[in-house]
Structure 1
Amino acid sequence: MPQPNHLLRAARHRLPSPGAPGEYASRGEVASAVNAWLWRETSKKYELDAHYLAKLERGVARWPNAAYRSGLRHVLGALDDASLGFTPPRRSDGGPCPPPENLTTPQWDAGTVADRVTAVTGDDLMPPTRRTVLAGAATLVGAALAGELEPFLRPARIVRGQGTAFTPPELDSAEQLTANLRSWHSRNGTLARTAVVAQLNTHTRRLRLAPQGTPETLRAFRIGAELADIAASMTWDVGLHSTAQRYFILSAQLAHAAGDDILASVALASLARQCYDLGRPDDGLEIVQLAQYGTRRTATPRLRAVLATREGWAYAQLGDARAFQRTVGLAEDHHAEGAQDIDTLTPSARSLDTAELAGVIGARYRDLAAFDPKHAIKAQEYIGLALAQREPARVRNRVFDLIGLARAHLITREPDRAAELINGALPLAESWSMGRVGTKLRDYYREAAAFATVPAVRDSREAISALIAR
């Protein structure tokens, strides 16, 4: 009896449907995409159809022709035929090879992760017209996104190999550079995204040659995860959401391959935050709960606080005030309990200091105020506390606070105070105006339209228009 091709089916289930938002692609949609890509690439007409794809998924056929394999690799984002479960016939009897032993999603295995990061970063560094891996890639949603992340709950498979090991001085230098890149991005916004992507590409090319499973290599995977997280944040900042999502997932995979599920869960928390920014609270909540379950025995109090804030974010966007307030209370309790574990956390988790916690909670109260304006007062209290406690060097966070507080004052119908806060934010916002800061300024611009006749508000909106137009 044929063995089903679970890898091909899983790859299709990770691909969003172009015609049914929130669903995965049908066999017919995949076949049409393959035929269209082959026509563009070869100027030849191909007739792959849903019936033949069903035979491939059932394992009745295991080795499609070269053109179909090429098209399926492109459409499904696979690096090689094996990632789609395609096995050539044996020369001895012409029969099919036995199916692979490991039918789990291979992208989370240590060796495959390094290959995928190298391929994605190499493609990202090419001119847009020459990209193949990222070309046309859609943001994963719903079941496709959940299916991509589910292997987080399973141990990474490490195949030990031979190669040139990382030396301690190399790893020390890489860690210091990674810390510098994160600092430069968060403090002044002038770091080029391509510089981080290029560093990640160089690092993982080296990682592919290192012997797997050694302490040095595991440390190198962890450094790669940090670099991928920075690249994801910067890519998100410039609005390349599908590529940013790919980097967040790669960060989680690299950390998982390093055996560091705390770092992996921080990457998942960032991925959830991206879902919230894109207005998909259900997806974000599912990701957070996956991270919480995967680290239920290992999470530090501070990490539990991070994940609780992300869970509360979903409830705020869904308008569930009771669940939000319960979760926020847990976040504050975990945060207070975790004052002593700060040195054991990743930089992303360490950044949840008292000011950041207050800022996040305040911004979420503002989200709740969209359902009931009475929550705007709490938003003002928490964001005001964040502003009072922010370190001066955390300029971008301060800009977010000022914009968020201004939007809360619009809800309480205090337009002059809102405009005053925006005028304080604009001189600091220029370095990030093309990214998420610009998006938040546009939110204020839209929400302030109701007060456009107020001179201070009119001036602040004109200043935003001038900044965004640069």
Structure 2
Amino acid sequence: MNRRTFLANTTFGAGAFAAPALFWSTASRAEAEPEQLASQGPTTVRDADVLRIHQTVLAFRRLDRAQGGGDLRDTVVHHLNGVARTKLAGSYGDEVGRRLFRAVAELTELAGWLSFDSGRHALAQRYHIQALRLAQAADDPAYGAYVMANMACQAVYLGHGWEAVQLARAAEQGGGSRLGPRARAIVASMEARGYAALGDRRACERAMGTAERYLDAANAVEDDPSWCNYFDESELQHEFAHSHRDLGLPDKIHGFAGASIKLRRAGASRRCAQDTTFMAAAHLAQGDLDAACAKAGEALRITGNLSSTQCNDFLADFRRRLRPYAKEPIARAFSEEADHILGDLAAA
């Protein structure tokens, strides 16, 4: 919590995930006694204090999915460095301490995710590593596995497919029997994304099949942790669309992305923008310029209401692919609209 100068002066490196991931997965499998977390501080921490942190995380997660992480990041980091740090320095017994560390792990991971969605990848990496350590102290290997799945997501987004696969595998091993089927579906879908980035279609499809089976099993379970209950059929179809995008298989993208949009819960605007952009790129790869620009225009208007570097990056990638058609009137019209809505971010 006190390492903000250190955090600000580092750069993202996929290898930096390796040591904490290995330590976590090894420690999770060991039959050691949980850490003693009792603390003596100036103020007493109660279960109600822990619950408020948990409810704050839930509220910010909903906002993140609806509007992107850019405008939320500073608020969450401020809450982490203020309220959460104060509670950690308070007075509590071991059981309350375990619940407190678990709640602060969720808040820390959220700060990492929002930093990722803001394009601040070194900060995101460090927050994720801190969240993993907090989850370990809280004796919550299932949540640690979820943190590692998000590490894998960031790694593959930045082009580190092999590291993403290793993180996903370690997440499943470390989570062990305490990892429920819905969480396992998340982990398997990140493994699929890693294989897609490596161009390994067979391994990707195998991992996608695993994710699908786990999600089918999860639908009969009603007591999933709050941090993973967002992952439904729509999310799975999104991950499949994303994987086929990275594999360079545009004919497969329309069905998966279209299903994801159709099944999408209200308030999931960022995912909708991404899936629509994937469909636009697929149309372009298939040579249908009119459909590509029309679909990209839809994505552009959704993205214009978000604060998400991820969505901006996907649209910027589409614009790069559109350059060979720069003289076509429909392509020029889209580029002008993108410049108007997104400004410098769209032209990056």
Q: TM-score, normalised by structure 2?
A: 0.90
Distance, in Å, in 2 between the alignment partners of 1:344 and 1:436 is 27
Q: Where does residue 2 of structure 2 map in the other structure?
A: 119
Higher Cα radius of gyration: 1
Distance, in Å, in 2 between the alignment partners of 1:303 and 1:159 is 26
Q: Where does residue 98 of structure 2 map in the other structure?
A: 218
SS at match of 2:304: helix
The one-letter amino acid paired with 2:243 is R
Q: Where does residue 213 of structure 2 map in the other structure?
A: 333
1:411 aligns with 2:285: yes
- Structure 1 stretch displaced more, 212-221 or 179-188: 212-221
Q: Where does residue 23 of structure 2 map in the other structure?
A: 151
The one-letter amino acid paired with 2:75 is A
- The question of whether the paired residues in 1 share the 8 Å contact of 2:152 and 2:167 is answered with yes
Q: Where does residue 364 of structure 1 map in the other structure?
A: 243
- Normalized per residue, the structure richer in helix is 2
Distance, in Å, in 2 between the alignment partners of 1:287 and 1:467 is 37
Distance, in Å, in 2 between the alignment partners of 1:296 and 1:177 is 28
RMSD: 2.0
The one-letter amino acid paired with 2:2 is A
Q: Deviations over 1:219-267 (max 9, x none)?
A: 1111111111221121112211111111111122212211111111111
Distance, in Å, in 1 between the alignment partners of 2:307 and 2:78 is 24
Distance, in Å, in 2 between the alignment partners of 1:467 and 1:218 is 46
Distance, in Å, in 2 between the alignment partners of 1:388 and 1:140 is 36
After superposing on structure 2, the runs of 4+ consecutive aligned residues of structure 1 that deviate more than 4 Å are: none
Q: Where does residue 192 of structure 1 map in the other structure?
A: 72
SS at match of 1:250: helix
Match of 2:87 among 200, 207, 232: 207
Match of 1:138 among 5, 8, 11: 11
- The question of whether the paired residues in 1 share the 8 Å contact of 2:7 and 2:126 is answered with no
- The question of whether the paired residues in 2 share the 8 Å contact of 1:263 and 1:346 is answered with no
Change (3 A) 1:171 1:440: same
Amino-acid identity (%): 27
How many pairs are equivalent? 336
- The question of whether the paired residues in 2 share the 8 Å contact of 1:304 and 1:331 is answered with yes
Structure 1 residues 18-417: aligned runs within 5 Å? 118-120=1-3, 123=4, 132-142=5-15, 144-153=16-25, 154=27, 157-158=35-36, 160-163=38-41, 164-189=43-68, 191-211=71-91, 214-347=94-227, 349-369=228-248, 375-417=249-291
What are the ranges of 5 or more consecutive residues in structure 1 without an aligned counterpart?
1-117, 124-131, 370-374
Change (3 A) 1:342 1:425: farther
Q: Give 1:180 deviation, angstroms.
A: 1.2
- The question of whether the paired residues in 1 share the 8 Å contact of 2:261 and 2:275 is answered with yes
Distance, in Å, in 1 between the alignment partners of 2:261 and 2:210 is 22
The one-letter amino acid paired with 2:229 is R
Q: TM-score, normalised by structure 1?
A: 0.68
Q: Give 1:387 deviation, angstroms.
A: 1.2
1:439 aligns with 2:313: yes
Q: Give 1:211 deviation, angstroms.
A: 4.7
Distance, in Å, in 2 between the alignment partners of 1:147 and 1:242 is 16
